[in-house]
Amino acid sequence: MDLNRFTPFRPYLPEPRFLWPEGKRCAVMLCFDVDGETTALSEDLELKNRVTTMSQCAYGPRVGVPRLLGLLDHLEVPATFFIPTWIVENHPRMAEAVAAAGHEIGAHGHLHEKLATLSPEEEEAVLVKSLGIFEAQLGRKPIGYRAPWFEINPGTTDLLVKYGFSYNASMMNDDAPFQHENGLVEIPGQWMLEDWEQFAFNADPAWGFIPEDCDKVFRLWWREFEAMRDYGCCFVLTLHPWLSGRPSRVQLLERLVSGIMETDDAWIATGSQIADWVRSYPEVRREIDFDAKGAKA
């Protein structure tokens, strides 16, 4: 890899964090966390009797996912769906449709368990259970993992290696992928590129905030995309179909991804494609240089 062939857009910019395939300036990972009813059930199993709250969550796998699959098919872009296996069991047609469309399916707990509440043994049991359900229902074993609430425990990355995972997409300490000492690839995310903070709302139990205007959210995400592109980062967008499957938000995503595609220099890839690239070409990652100075304009 020729690390010197990249010319930054702006003279003060450091060398890019990463070089991406085919000379692309950045990578884009579109993630759909299909939490559905587990959003409520992982808070409190008694919420199963809160029919309207549960129905709002179920809107994701029932209505949001098919609509989002239609958009992804129209745009011909791949995505990564992290699905709790309670959702796979209770919405089997939805999970099959995601798999049949060729998108990647990653693990995301069984009932969207908060890992911090689990002992190491319990955490391993949940992972083994969910892998068994993926195998039984879809005949496949995920190699990517996104922790519920993005929050992992100290032993989680070793557990993922033990069960043959290629990557974790749960940490927030960087904006380009890296490898853990145990070889697991990390694809870090961030809360700014999440739809919960923008769109989530439920009256009781009280979740989220006042839903934001899609135009504001477009600006927020587009400006971060443009800047991440300048720095050669990996833009990891995390959407929940019960939020982002609502009509105006599907159109927001269409506008965002269409704009990204029009730049013609972003690599839109699944988590496993990004992890394979990182593992194949570890020399393309640049560590942050504390002594780096921006060029004078």
**Interface positions with Zn ion (CB under 5 A):** 33, 35, 148
The helix (run of H) or strand (run of E) holding residue 234 is strand 234-239
Structure tokens at 22: 């085919």
Of residues 186 and 195, the one with the C-beta less far from Zn ion: 195
Residue 48 or 216 with smaller CB distance to Zn ion: 48
Q: How far is the CB of 238 from Zn ion (least distance, A)?
A: 8
Q: Of 78 and 189, which has the nearer Cβ to Zn ion?
A: 189
197 versus 230: smaller Cβ distance to Zn ion: 197
Contact 266, 27 (CB under 8 A): yes
Minimum distance of Zn ion from residue 118's CB (angstroms): 15
List phi, psi (to 5°) of 82: -95, 115
* Minimum separation from the CB atom of position 247 to Zn ion (A): 22
Measuring CA to CA, how many Å separate 22 from each of 75, 259, 283?
20, 19, 16
* Cα separation, 161 vs 73, whole angstroms: 32
Minimum separation from the CB atom of position 2 to Zn ion (A): 39
Strand partners, 167: 144, 185
Indicate the residue among 18 and 165 with the shorter CB distance to Zn ion: 165
Question: In angstroms, rounded to a whole number, what is the distance separating the alpha carbons of residues 212 and 215?
Answer: 9
Rounded distance between C-alpha atoms, residue 212 and residue 131, angstroms: 36
Least separation in angstroms between residue 189's CB and Zn ion is 11
